[in-house]
Amino acid sequence: MITKKVSKKDIRKLLGTWNQECNVIVPSRVDGVVGMAAWDNQDISFLDWYRNTVIPPKSCFLPKSEVMMSFKKNENGYNLEVPTNEHWQVIFGVRPCDARANAIIDHVFAVTYDDYYYISKRRNTLLVGLSCTNPYDSCFCTSSNIDPTESEYVDLMFTDIGDDFVIEDFTGGGKALLNMSNTLKKVTKADIDKIKEVKAASVSKIKKTVDTENADRKLGSLFNDTDYWERISAKCISCGICTFLCPTCFCFDINDEMIRKQGARYRGWDSCSFRSYTRMPMENPREEKWRRVRQRVCHKFEFFPMNLGINACVGCGRCIRSCPVNWDITQVIAGLPAEAGIKSGK
């Protein structure tokens, strides 16, 4: 529901109020790379330069690497210690594509077994969405049925209408955040008209589109076409960047370190682009590059629809922007032969 707005010059005050109760996370440049990181309680310049992060907000729940447990050996055996995640965090500036992506991987980490490390961070998080008014050329969220100014997967949604942000609240957590602040103003009839204008303009700024209709069926019938996949994967150098930066990629590795009698078990991002990912002592089911590329494309557009009824590509465009060899997933989807899905009769 739209009830409140906040003036841009009061954003620092608003975030400051939240920062007293929870950790406020904002778009930040860390070592030259834009990701979500703790706010310094001061700088709000990101409001001017922020378009979307390079590292997706999944890193707040599934960090690049994290300690799962530490262990110490003593005379009675091993003593295990698990880090706790008690603090609350508010992530400010989540884009609608990434909010949907979070909802998708929420499911992965909660189905059958709860993943303690992911869920303990996720459930203590409130998401504040920010409408896109300046999308990249490579963004194609509308092709995944995402409106760049709307999200059902955030607690609050901010939309820039000039001097103010109009705020929509969706959850009890979102309302609680609003109630903490005294810098908010009431929205007027004029604001409501303005927001409609802004929304329409934002949607029209997304120029890149790809027809994802029946992509799962088309991929299904091309699945065993080795020539096709060899051609598609030819220029990929298996660097894994596209998967690390994808907001719906969730694969991880688990490894131990130990020095003398103390050590830790870590987990960190892994990627289906790597040979080692599936390698077994005697054989490797995805030794060939075309199989690994096929895995990535089909996981997003075929396996996810089979299991969850939804494409796992949200159209954020990160994999297109960051690929060193300009591999473009939309070209693959667009290039699927139209008759492919029909032939299979699935």
Binding site for other proteins (CB under 8 A): 68-69, 71, 73, 77-78, 80, 82, 84, 100, 103-104, 106-117, 119-120, 122-123, 152-153, 171, 220, 223-224, 250-258, 263, 265, 270, 272, 277-283, 285-286, 291, 295, 298-299, 302-303, 306-310
- Nearest distance, CB of residue 280 and other proteins, angstroms: 5
- Nearest distance, CB of residue 152 and ligand SF4, angstroms: 17
Residue 305 contacts ligand SF4 per CB under 6 A: no
User: What is the dihedral sign for C-alpha 12, 17, 20, 24?
Assistant: negative
Name the residue nearer to other proteins (CB basis): 21 or 152: 152
Tell which positions 283-302 bind ligand SF4, by CB under 6 A. 300
Given 128, 156, 195, 236, the residue binding ligand SF4 (CB under 6 A): 236
Residue 126 contacts ligand SF4 per CB under 6 A: no
Give, in order, the Cα–Cα distances in Å from 174 to each of 129, 260, 271, 322: 11, 48, 34, 33
What 291-298 contacts at long range (C-beta under 8 Å, 24+ apart), as own/partner pairs, is 291/229, 292/233, 292/238, 293/229, 293/232, 293/233, 293/236, 294/223, 294/229, 294/232, 294/233, 296/242, 296/243, 296/272, 297/219, 297/232, 297/329, 297/332, 297/333, 298/219, 298/223
How many amino acids of this chain bind ligand SF4 (CB under 6 A)? 25
Other residues' Cβ atoms within 10 Å of the Cβ of residue 246: 23
Please name the residues in contact with 159: beta carbons below 8 A apart, sequence gap of 6 or more. 130, 131, 149, 165, 166, 168, 195, 198, 199
Name the residue nearer to other proteins (CB basis): 122 or 199: 122
Do 222 and 336 form a contact (C-beta atoms < 8 A)? Answer: yes
Residue 314 contacts ligand SF4 per CB under 6 A: yes
Name the residue nearer to other proteins (CB basis): 161 or 240: 240
Mark residues 245-274: x for contact with ligand SF4 by CB under 6 A, - for none. xxxx------------------------x-
Residue 71 and residue 305: Cα distance in Å, rounded?
40
- Nearest distance, CB of residue 278 and other proteins, angstroms: 5
Give, in order, the Cα–Cα distances in Å from 32 to each of 17, 80, 125, 269: 28, 36, 25, 20
Name the residue nearer to other proteins (CB basis): 83 or 324: 83
Q: Which does 240 bind (CB under 5 to 8 A by kind): other proteins, ligand SF4, none?
A: ligand SF4
Given 240, 291, 294, 304, the residue binding ligand SF4 (CB under 6 A): 240
